[in-house]
Amino acid sequence: MGDAPGPLKLVQELVNTLDVESGVDELEAFVGEGVDVERVRDFRELLREAGMAHAGLDISSDSLDMFSEQLSLAALVLSPRYDGSVELVLAPGLPPTELLFAQVAAAIAAAGRDWLRLKACAAEDCRWLYYDRSPAGRGRWCSMAVCGSRAKMRAYRAARRARDHPLTAPRTLGGATPPLLPKD
């Protein structure tokens, strides 16, 4: 599906500092020094859950409330421009953690409805954030070649097991399939 456009790329890169499948977490290298890594880690998971909600996956209402609360703390101000418009900018003098949260909030605000296309992969062992570029916006996996293929293969195997299981397979008489009963 690919990289998120413009300011949403920051959000995507932040969330994808954790590889859910392998457990490799590169958050500390991403945020640098002076940042409260545990707070950012919690915030990252709230962003992942927002991506899950965009993908139609279930999340708790508590997560949404906590996410809203964290974004409401982001220090952003309106800055007038010479053409009469205003721009949302970061408040000056923010400590590193709040600066990162404000950058994420500004990215989300700047993205508008494109924010809804930033989704978490439906694969439980992945949950990578991807930007859904499908025309209808109904993508489910970060990669059809990997996660989509795995999901389809699991579904195929489950259907095959159900079909081949002795209790669910069609019953036969002496090796022949029983005739269908005539309809009334």
**8 neighbors 107 (Cβ within 8 angstroms):** yes
pTM of the entire structure?
0.74
What confidence tens digit (pLDDT) does each residue in 122-131 have?
Answer: 888 888 899 9
Assess whether pLDDT exceeds 80 at residue 173: no
Tell me how crowded residue 47 is: count the other CB atoms within 10 A of its CB.
22
Look up tokens 């409401």; give the residue: 72
The model's pLDDT over 149-167, given as tens digits with 9 standing for 90+, comes to 676 777 777 777 777 776 6
177: its two tokens: 């399939």
Residue 169 pLDDT level (bands cut at 50, 70, 90): low
- Cβ atoms < 10 Å from Cβ of 40: 21
**98 closest CA partner among 60, 79, 72:** 72
pLDDT tens-digit map of 131-141: 999 888 777 76
Contact partners, residue 118, CB within 8 Å, separation at least 6: 4, 8, 11, 12, 51, 54, 111, 129, 130, 131, 132
